Amino acid sequence: MYSVEEFGKEKTKVMNYIMYKKRTEKEVKNKFQNTIQSDMLCDIIEYVKEAGYLDDSDYIKRAVAEFMALKNLSKREIKYKLFTKGINKEELEDYFYEHQEELEEYERKSAQNIFVKKQGTQEKEEIANYLLKKGYQQHIIKEVLECKTY
């Protein structure tokens, strides 16, 4: 068992880590698993989750919005990035299902941006292969190459 003082001290460390940048539950566990005893860490995580500071579904929303604003990624790349952060696969699938139209449109624009950027230096086939490797859907690649969408 641990004391209230120990809990408070370690909780402060976890809170500072979370407040510096939004984190997933897995990131917090990985960061503190060797420095905070496991039963205390579980209690701290439970505490910060109940207080609303640690919420993986909120993390998904924020991360996807950030990716959409700043990067050209396929939906598959976004899923992979979030999955590596420790987001539950079912939670990810639910989010992507609920926002499929918005994400589909983002992926189309993202592919278009990459196409425009690369068309001066690469052939259409090379760009198509690049987009395919990056996880873009074939029908989106086809639309972009045929310039149907713009």
Measured between alpha carbons, how far is 52 from 115 in angstroms, rounded to an integer? 41
* DSSP at 122: S
- Tens of pLDDT along 2-41? 899 999 999 999 999 999 999 999 999 999 999 999 999 9
For position 37, what pLDDT does the model report? 95
Q: How crowded is residue 98: how many other Cβ atoms within 10 Å of its Cβ? A: 10
- Tens of pLDDT along 64-73? 999 999 999 9
For position 149, what pLDDT does the model report? 43
For position 150, what pLDDT does the model report? 43
- Give percent of the chain above pLDDT 90: 95
Per-domain residue ranges for the chain?
Answer: 4-54, 57-146
4-54: CATH, from 2.40.30, 1.10.10, 1.10.3470, 1.20.58: 1.10.10
User: Above 60 in pLDDT, residue 60?
Assistant: yes
For position 55, what pLDDT does the model report? 95
Instruction: Return mean pLDDT, the chain.
Output: 94
- Tens of pLDDT along 112-140? 999 999 998 999 999 999 999 999 999 99
What per-residue string of b and e applies to 101-129 under the rule 16 or more CB within 10 Å gives b? eebeebbbbbbbebbeeeeeeeeeeebbe
